[in-house]
Amino acid sequence: MPSLTCSREASRCSRELASVYRRFSLDHTPWNHPVQERVKTNTHGSTHILQIVYSSHFAAMLTRKTGGQWRIVGGSLRAGQAAGMHEKLRSPERGTNSMICTTQQRGRTSNGTHPQFSFLLMMILILMAMAVPPGSVQAQEADAEVLVAEGILAYEAKRYDEAAALFSRAVATDPRNARAFYYLALCHLARGQAELAIAPLTALHTLRPTDPEATYQLGVAHFATKHYDKAAPLLEDVFRLEPDRENLGFYVGFLRYRQKNYNGAEAALSVSRSADQDIRQLTMFYRGLALGILGLSDQAQAELASAQRMQPTSPITGASVRIQEALTATTRVTDPQRLRMQLAVGGYYDDNVAVNPRKSSDQVAELLRSRNTQSPGFVTSARGDYAWYRKGPIESTVTYSYYQTVNTDSGAGSFNIQDHLGGLSGVYRGTVGTMPYEIGGQYSYDYMLLGLKGFLSRHTVTLPATFVPPAITLPALGRMDNLTTLLYRFQRKSFFTEPGNSDIRFAPESRDAFNNMIGVLHAFRFRQDTIIVSVGYQHDTEAASGSSFAYSGNRLQLGG
């Protein structure tokens, strides 16, 4: 079966995910952008950044230059307080401000001020920084900000060990510094240590429980360490808010596929967005598997073919080729079976072939009771179906069936029944969103003979529509699949040699009629269809020529 093959191939490909996990762990967002900013060098001199640091022990001026730049960092400063402050960088945690000051080694600065004025400004800023008491919350936050800034420089230079040490010191200094936790996790992931990233990301999620970014990163870390049960609720929460987030559709689709929620998996994978070819190929691969299990073989083959073209030399390509061959082989086996025939022969004993009435005082009824009505007999039925057109989701079939009863008692031979039926039907299969469906139509005409004389003819038009709603999980019962069928039937019945056709006295007994029936049937399927419970309802209206046979009724169906 294709579904069995799909499952085996999916397990073979699980190891291919490992190389992809570590590359798609954390993304930059506005609140976690690096604190450093680029400052253009003046044409008349070099631009410097001065760092004024709050420390629990002292306030000092750092003179380390980075690309000819110095940085001023202050907790009580505001942009625009003094000339030469070009830019304010805001920290999201405590409102700490970082400002860029420019000085010039000789001549005037770019804004026309003298170097002496800039030096005086720097001294004022230093004195303002020293006004903050050592050991205060503001000082600790500023210390952490400096460590984070240093760590980001090391991280972007790919010195991950050094950066991790700085971020660890930052979170120890300020346990509420979300950016430090974020970049600490980034360092662990960059070193291929996804399991170490979970702790700082958990702390980040605790600090920002409603932040989709924090939730997403923690979910991806659990995904990378194959803690799928922990990753699923986190990523599902983000998927509801941001279904088009890059790579998220693949993560959610893969998790749903593991849970055998193939409709949901196909839905998530169909909206997946990724700039990486590996992720895109895996998305197509698992979407093809889900479509194959749902019975949409043509769509599954098309998706697997796209996955093969994405990266022809990838290991996933080999697996997708094998699955596509299995689906194609299944189609080949099915295609030649366009003609199906069935023949059945049986026997019976009927104690009231003529349908004699019960004993009564009615003289006419008593005369009818005298007819020979008991007889053994044989029954034969034959049916042939030929799928004359089958292409893609469309299939059309012609049908013929024959039915015959033979009563061996000669007295009941006039009640032998023979029926001939011919029909033409067509179906279309597809999906609405992620829900598979099948819509069909059928026309049939049957002619019945009673004792080799024409008795009844019927024209019947049937319009069924079948849908496969998403599966749900119920407490104690587990996974429940669903199947819903809507049905409409129109029938025109004509009886031959009716007494009411020639004698007005029997007009109310005429059985010629138009019949309309509409109904719905829903099947609850458990344990892969080993247990099925069906509930249905039908409304039936018979508009007969004779009032004795006209009716309107309701039918409730319950079965398993």
Amino acid, res. 286: Y
Would the pLDDT of 295 be above 80? no
**CB-based burial, 233-263: b 16+ in 10 Å, e otherwise:** ebbbebbeeeeebebbbbbbbbbbbebebbb
Amino acid, res. 176: R
pLDDT tens digit string along 477-491? 888 889 999 999 999
Which residues have a Cβ under 8 Å from the Cβ of 138 and sit 6 or more positions away?
A: 54, 75, 76, 94, 132
Would the pLDDT of 209 be above 60? yes
The rounded percent of the chain whose pLDDT value lies above 70 is 69
Q: What is the pLDDT of residue 127?
A: 61
Q: What is the pLDDT of residue 76?
A: 33
Cα–Cα distances (Å) from 82 to 77, 91, 378, in that order, read 10, 20, 110
Which candidate, 291, 257, 326, places its Cα nearest to that of 468?
291
Would the pLDDT of 59 be above 80? no
Q: What is the pLDDT of residue 87?
A: 34
CA distance 43 to 340: 88
pLDDT tens digit string along 33-56? 443 333 333 333 333 333 333 333
Grade residue 314 by pLDDT with cuts at 50, 70 and 90.
low
Average pLDDT over residues 388-410: 90
Are 488 and 445 spatial neighbours (Cβ–Cβ below 8 Å)? no
Grade residue 122 by pLDDT with cuts at 50, 70 and 90.
low
Domain boundaries, the chain: 25-208, 212-336, 341-559
CA distance 482 to 407: 45
87's enclosing H/E stretch is strand 85-90
Which residues have a Cβ under 8 Å from the Cβ of 245 and sit 6 or more positions away?
A: 216, 238, 239, 273
Are 511 and 498 spatial neighbours (Cβ–Cβ below 8 Å)? yes
pLDDT tens digit string along 534-560? 999 999 999 999 888 899 999 999 987
CA distance 184 to 134: 26
Grade residue 400 by pLDDT with cuts at 50, 70 and 90.
very high
Q: What is the pLDDT of residue 315?
A: 61
CA distance 248 to 268: 8
Helix or strand or coil: residue 335?
Answer: coil
Average pLDDT over residues 345-371: 77
Q: What is the pLDDT of residue 350?
A: 86
Mean pLDDT is lowest, of 21-25, 208-212, 356-360, 405-409, for 21-25
Average pLDDT over residues 196-224: 90
Same CATH topology for 25-208 and 212-336: the answer is: yes
Right CATH for 212-336 from 3.20.20.140, 3.40.30.10, 1.25.40.10, 3.40.50.300: 1.25.40.10
Would the pLDDT of 310 be above 90? no
Q: What is the pLDDT of residue 312?
A: 65
474's enclosing H/E stretch is strand 472-474
Grade residue 455 by pLDDT with cuts at 50, 70 and 90.
very high
Average pLDDT over residues 442-454: 94
Q: What share of the chain is helix, strand, coil (3-state, %, to 5)?
A: 40, 30, 30
Helix or strand or coil: residue 257?
Answer: helix
Q: What is the pLDDT of residue 552?
A: 95
Are 204 and 198 spatial neighbours (Cβ–Cβ below 8 Å)? no
Q: What is the pLDDT of residue 556?
A: 95
Helix or strand or coil: residue 139?
Answer: helix
Which candidate, 399, 402, 259, 390, places its Cα nearest to that of 336?
390
Looking at the structure, give the CATH architecture of the domain made up of residues 25-208.
Answer: Alpha Horseshoe (1.25)
Q: What is the pLDDT of residue 133?
A: 53
* Beta strand extents in 527-560 (DSSP E only): 531-544, 551-559
pLDDT tens digit string along 429-447? 888 877 889 999 999 999 9
Grade residue 119 by pLDDT with cuts at 50, 70 and 90.
low
Would the pLDDT of 512 be above 50? yes
Class of residue 497 by CB neighbours under 10 A (exposed 0-12, middle 13-18, buried 19+) = exposed
Q: What is the pLDDT of residue 410?
A: 73
